[in-house]
Amino acid sequence: MFKSILIYTIGLMAMADLARATYSADLKCGKCIKEGYNFCFKGTDTQTFEKGTVPEATCCQDTSCAEASNSEWTCSGSYSDADYALTFCPFKKDKCGSTAEVTFEDNVNSTQQVTVENLAEGETCSFKVKSKCNSPGFRKVSSSNMDDSNTEVSFIEYKKSFVNKTSKDNYDSSETKESKKTKMPSDDKPPRNQSWSDMGKMSKVKCTYNYSVSSDTDTASIEANFEGKAKVNVTSNSNGTYTIEICYKKQFKPKRKNKNGTYTEKEDMDEAKKEHWDEYK
């Protein structure tokens, strides 16, 4: 009997301000959390806000503000991990579009496009992508006025069967700011005190160089050999030779917990093949 598994990827896009910010109650959700403050808004972690609707929100200096103890409000201080806390930021449809969640069934090579626009410094959009077959991924299709200098893109990933389930937040007066820390924001998200392993920066690369390569070298075959695996740059030198640069994405798989309680080893992915990575084709 076929049994499906659910793998979740929560992709995060934040319009970043790389300079350190002086505390202000007006700091946007992403910036407030990144600076170590406590962002609170009136609503729930799973709530989306329609176009034209501005959530009532504030950036608190710490978890002792009145909003943190108000059952009508939800605060990032309930999360133990800052990256996971970013997923709680209000989903504003006028910035993040109308699609907050995407589900892929058993089919492969399915796609869904989402659009983010007009993010201000410190604002975020997060999208939950779940798949019953194979791990979901994402890539940028196009952009305008958004690049590595002003935008951060990150993700967290988990398998639902591996989540250490607790009870779900009731979002009412029965909850306290302490009880919220161990609760699940929704039925299919880990508890707020979930710990995560860091896979490092996805843009980090490791390059090797071959200098003074003969001009009769079949560079096309070299590029074909590394297709989908590494990026190959061939530069012609003034003396008639080539310099060949081969760059790999430097990634790794963190330790993962098996159902029997044991853990896998950290796995190097320097030479992992990226079958559908257009950048490397």
pTM above 0.75, yes or no: no
β-bridge partners, 58: 40
Question: What Rg, from alpha-carbon coordinates, does the chain have?
Answer: 22
Contacts of residue 54, defined as CB under 8 A and 6 or more positions apart, other chains included, come to: none
Q: What is the mean pLDDT of residues 80-104?
A: 91
pLDDT of residue 29: 94
Beta strands in the chain (DSSP E): 7-15, 38-42, 48-49, 57-60, 73-75, 91-92, 101-104, 124-131, 151-159, 205-213, 231-236, 242-249, 252-253, 267-268
Kindly state the DSSP code that residue 24 receives in the 8-state scheme.
-
Q: Tell me how far apart the alpha carbons of residues 50 and 67 are, in angstroms, rounded to a whole number.
A: 23
In this structure, what are the phi and psi dihedrals at residue 30, rounded to the nearest 5 degrees? Answer: -60, -45
Instruction: Give per-residue pLDDT as tens, 117-152.
Output: 888 888 999 988 888 777 777 777 788 877 777 788
Residue with tokens 């609170």: 40
Instruction: Give per-residue pLDDT as tens, 11-38.
Output: 666 555 555 678 999 999 999 998 999 9
Three-state DSSP at 15 gives strand
Residues 251 and 272: beta-carbon distance below 8 Å: yes
Q: What is the mean pLDDT of residues 53-66?
A: 95
What does the buried/exposed string (b/e) look like for 21-53 if buried means 16 or more CB atoms within 10 Å of the residue's CB? beeeeebbbbbbbbbebbbbbebebbebbeeee
Instruction: Give per-residue pLDDT as tens, 183-210.
Output: 999 988 999 998 887 766 666 677 889 9
Q: Tell me how far apart the alpha carbons of residues 213 and 51 are, in angstroms, rounded to a whole number.
A: 58
